[in-house]
């Protein structure tokens, strides 16, 4: 499947969270902004930096009416340990079979490593940001915040 792009309607999906519960996208899409950030692997330097940057800006996302959710192919148990270790306040989807990654068309880097892509979906379910940068983890948070915050003026 082609990568989901800005202007596309986000597909409906269900997935398993780090606590083993099911997440249904319809519980968020249509109600609030959704920031979905795909990252390669728990407890690796750039991924940890990115997750902690989302943690550190989490209150700003919540205040803007957004839900932040991480996604990687690690197991729910790995995500639970990762979230506890770094005090992550948002859920993480265990995409162990990479079905969500395929649904969104998240590319691999160098054909091997799972890509790092952040999607921002508005209250109507339309993708407003699709940002891919493998090593610029802070950029994902800054761009996602800019997408959900009201313009200043």
Q: Which residues of 67-76 are buried (b: 16+ CB within 10 A; e: fewer)?
A: bbbbbbbbeb
Helix (H, G, I), strand (E, B) or coil at 8: coil
Cβ contact 54:87 at 8 Å = no
Residues in the chain, total: 153
Is 47 designated active site?
yes
Catalytic, out of 10, 34, 47, 144? 47
- Give the burial string for 95-121 (b: 16+ CB within 10 Å, else e): beeeebbebbebeeeeeeebbbbbbbb
Q: Give catalytic residue positions.
A: 47
């Amino acid at each position: 499947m082609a990568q989901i792009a800005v202007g596309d309607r986000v597909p409906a999906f269900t997935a398993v969270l780090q606590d083993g519960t099911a997440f249904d996208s319809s519980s968020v899409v249509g109600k609030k902004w959704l920031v979905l950030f795909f990252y390669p692997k728990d407890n690796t330097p750039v991924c940890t930096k990115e997750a902690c940057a989302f943690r550190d800006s989490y209150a700003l996302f919540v205040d803007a009416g957004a839900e932040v959710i991480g996604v990687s192919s690690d197991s729910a148990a790995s995500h639970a340990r990762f979230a506890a270790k770094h005090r992550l306040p948002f859920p993480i989807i265990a995409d162990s079979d990479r079905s969500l990654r395929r649904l969104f068309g998240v590319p691999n880097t160098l054909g091997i490593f799972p890509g790092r892509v952040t999607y921002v979906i508005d209250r109507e379910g339309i993708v407003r940001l699709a940002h891919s940068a493998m090593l610029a983890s802070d950029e994902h948070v800054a761009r996602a915040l800019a997408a959900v915050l009201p313009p200043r003026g």
